[in-house]
């Protein structure tokens, strides 16, 4: 074992370290799926790998539990891949460089992937434990959760006989999650007819923002780098005529973008930089209380002839960037502090012939999600740009009289001395998709403490992993 040697539970960290050495960004699932199948073979357990690279491993009931209903333990194999500007990691080839900081495991300059690798590691430790007491276990490892729950959406529900599911993709150990948002993806494409312009190249960069998960952290007021650049470019119109070369920010729809770089051409680069700097300072002062690490850079390049967007495309880009809704749209009135509806412009990419804007939409109400899609469709129609919505996944609605909820609360209290707080969350969980696949499913979502997921500051608390692992094992003992 490497850097995590000596941490407890030892076998959980053993598997997490092995998993972290395998490149497993969303869309790159072959290696980690093969690893799971090899694990099952070594343990002598039946396993199935489907066309979406989901892996299902079956462990028979321990002695005395043969007549108990099977329990599904579930986590996802993929991770969000984000890195600092200084990191030279190749997420397609390299593993994660793990570090220990006090009671936390984190990564060196990248996301950690504890979301949701730590769940996979915990389930593997249970699968290999010959002394554990439990009903038959169906271990479900899904793929490409972070880009639309794609693996879960392609599952064959007939592969599951149990009606109890423990999802291990939650991030606050004191909480018992019993409901989550549904969501969809919304993409606008603005066609570009490249032109040329004589002038000075200027690059404006906004960076150093927190970023974060567009579900669980959307209510924290973190600044979206794409939206911020829309504000800057709108102001820049009052400073000077300019033409855009490119706008680029974010690479995951469900991650609040923390960096954006815009390239443009102006007549006098130095005069433009001097005129816009006071505004950038004003913005910095305005957001310093919630984004203390915010940095902006204005780089004046060479004079020359550059390929730029046509004026019509530029007008549409700056309009949508500045006017599109973003962040929290509505709060629940029935569940305190629950964000009910939100959206995040997570990806903005300039290519040779188009600019693509990719939004992640979420709502705990299906009708509110449709209304938000309609609002964006109306904006796209007004701007005369192409738009489509896809990747819909259903909300997970609260189940009253849940046996699994009652049993977990009892087990948690025995370990921790208090009952967990029962909550609904705004983030999407696969429980919604799986409930559609397996009628009558009784779900809960739990997990160890993880902070700043989907960012380069992601960390998981070591002691909470041991706590949740022991609670899950004790819970399984009670499932007779």
Those residues with Cβ within 8 angstroms of residue 449's Cβ, 6 or more apart along the chain or in another chain: 171, 172, 173, 460, 461, 464
Q: Are 180 and 171 in contact (CB under 8 A)?
A: no
pLDDT at 332 over 90: no
pLDDT at 372 over 50: yes
pLDDT at 335 over 80: no
Rounded mean pLDDT, 57-66: 97
Rounded mean pLDDT, 356-377: 95
Of the ranges 61-75, 121-135, 258-272, 389-403, which one carries the lowest mean pLDDT score? 389-403
CATH code at position 19: 3.40.630.10
In a domain, 36, yes or no: yes
Interatomic CA distance for residues 98 and 111, integer angstroms: 10
Give the model confidence (pLDDT) of 218-230 as tens digits.
Answer: 999 999 999 999 9
Q: What's the domain range around 328?
A: 184-392
Looking at 346, 365, 392, the residue that finishes a domain is 392
Active site residue 436: no
Mean pLDDT of all residues belonging to the chain: 95
Interatomic CA distance for residues 365 and 371, integer angstroms: 10
Q: Are 399 and 422 in contact (CB under 8 A)?
A: no
Residues paired with residue 137 on neighbouring β-strands, in sequence order: 59, 71
Domain check: are 319 and 436 in the same one?
no
Rounded mean pLDDT, 348-371: 95
User: Which residue in the list 53, 115, 144, 145 is annotated as catalytic?
Assistant: 145
Cα separation values, 291 from 208, 234, 345, 431, Å:
8, 21, 18, 33
Domain check: are 365 and 432 in the same one?
no
Residue 207: band (very low, low, confident or very high) from pLDDT cuts 50, 70, 90: very high
In a domain, 337, yes or no: yes
pLDDT at 40 over 90: yes
pLDDT at 175 over 50: yes
pTM of the model: 0.71
The secondary structure of residue 232, as a DSSP letter, is H
Domain check: are 155 and 209 in the same one?
no
Domain check: are 217 and 111 in the same one?
no
In a domain, 2, yes or no: no
* pLDDT at res. 194: 96
Give the model confidence (pLDDT) of 402-419 as tens digits.
Answer: 999 999 999 999 999 999
Number of folded domains in the chain? 2
* pLDDT at res. 58: 98
DSSP of 83-147? B-TT----TTT----EEEETTEEEESSB---HHHHHHHHHHHHHHH-TT---S-EEEEEES-GGG
Domain check: are 217 and 339 in the same one?
yes
Interatomic CA distance for residues 187 and 349, integer angstroms: 11
Rounded to 10 deg, the angle between the 30-43 and 10-20 helix axes is: 140
User: Which residue in the list 17, 18, 53, 78 is annotated as catalytic?
Assistant: 78
In a domain, 4, yes or no: no
Residue 333: band (very low, low, confident or very high) from pLDDT cuts 50, 70, 90: confident
* pLDDT at res. 410: 97
- The token pair at 108 is 């060196």
Domain check: are 219 and 345 in the same one?
yes
Residue 269: band (very low, low, confident or very high) from pLDDT cuts 50, 70, 90: very high
- Specify the higher pLDDT residue, 161 or 29: 29
Domain check: are 326 and 405 in the same one?
no
Domain check: are 324 and 230 in the same one?
yes
- Least Cα distance to 363 among 394, 391, 323, 324 occurs for 394
Rounded mean pLDDT, 271-296: 98
Active site residue 145: yes
Looking at 337, 363, 392, the residue that finishes a domain is 392
Looking at 370, 392, 414, the residue that finishes a domain is 392
Domain check: are 50 and 141 in the same one?
yes
Domain check: are 234 and 173 in the same one?
no
Domain check: are 316 and 332 in the same one?
yes
Element at 259 (helix H, strand E): none
Interatomic CA distance for residues 42 and 57, integer angstroms: 12
Q: Is 328 helix (H, G, I), strand (E, B) or coil?
A: strand
* pLDDT at res. 176: 96
pLDDT > 70: what percent of the chain?
100
* pLDDT at res. 1: 46
């Amino acid at each position: 074992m490497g850097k995590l040697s000596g941490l407890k539970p030892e076998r959980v960290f053993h598997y997490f370290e092995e998993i972290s050495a395998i490149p497993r960004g969303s869309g790159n699932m072959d290696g980690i799926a093969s690893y799971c199948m090899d694990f099952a073979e070594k343990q002598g357990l039946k396993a199935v790998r489907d066309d979406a690279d989901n892996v299902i491993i079956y462990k028979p009931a321990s002695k005395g539990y043969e007549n108990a209903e099977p329990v599904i333990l579930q986590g996802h194999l993929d991770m969000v891949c984000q890195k600092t500007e200084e990191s030279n990691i190749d997420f397609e080839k390299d593993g994660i460089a793990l570090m220990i900081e006090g009671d936390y495991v984190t990564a060196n300059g990248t996301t950690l992937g504890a979301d949701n690798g730590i769940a996979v590691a915990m389930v593997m430790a249970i699968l290999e434990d010959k002394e554990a007491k439990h009903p038959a276990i169906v271990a479900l490892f899904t793929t490409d959760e972070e880009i639309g729950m794609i693996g879960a959406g392609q599952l064959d529900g007939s592969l599951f006989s149990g009606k109890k599911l423990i999802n291990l993709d939650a991030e606050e150990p004191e909480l018992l999650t019993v409901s989550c948002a549904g969501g969809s993806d919304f993409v606008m494409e603005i066609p570009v007819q490249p032109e040329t312009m004589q002038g000075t190249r200027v690059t404006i960069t906004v960076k150093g923002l927190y970023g974060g998960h567009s579900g669980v952290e959307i209510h924290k007021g973190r600044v979206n780098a794409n939206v911020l650049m829309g504000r800057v470019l709108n102001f820049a119109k009052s400073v000077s005529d300019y033409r855009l070369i490119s706008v680029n920010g974010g690479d995951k729809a469900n991650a609040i973008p923390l960096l954006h770089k815009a390239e443009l051409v102006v007549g006098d680069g130095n005069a433009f930089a001097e005129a816009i700097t006071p505004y950038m300072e004003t913005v910095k002062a305005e957001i310093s209380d919630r984004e203390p690490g915010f940095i902006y850079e204005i780089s004046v390049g060479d004079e020359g002839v550059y390929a730029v967007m046509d004026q019509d495309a530029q007008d549409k880009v700056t309009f949508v960037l500045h006017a599109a809704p973003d962040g929290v749209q509505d709060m629940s009135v029935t569940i305190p502090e629950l964000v009910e509806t939100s959206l995040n412009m997570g990806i903005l990419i300039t290519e040779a012939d188009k600019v693509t804007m990719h939004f992640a939409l979420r709502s705990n109400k299906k009708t509110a999600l449709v209304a938000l899609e309609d609002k964006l469709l109306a904006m796209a129609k007004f701007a005369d740009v192409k738009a489509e919505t896809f990747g819909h996944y259903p909300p997970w609605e609260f189940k009253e009289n849940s046996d699994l909820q009652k049993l977990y609360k009892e087990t948690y209290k025995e370990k921790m001395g208090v009952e967990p707080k029962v909550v609904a969350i705004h983030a999407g969980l696969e429980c919604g998709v799986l409930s559609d696949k397996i009628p009558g499913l009784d779900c809960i979502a739990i997990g160890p403490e993880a902070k700043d997921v989907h960012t380069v500051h992601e960390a998981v608390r070591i002691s909470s992993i041991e706590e949740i692992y022991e609670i899950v094992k004790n819970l399984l003992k009670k499932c007779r």
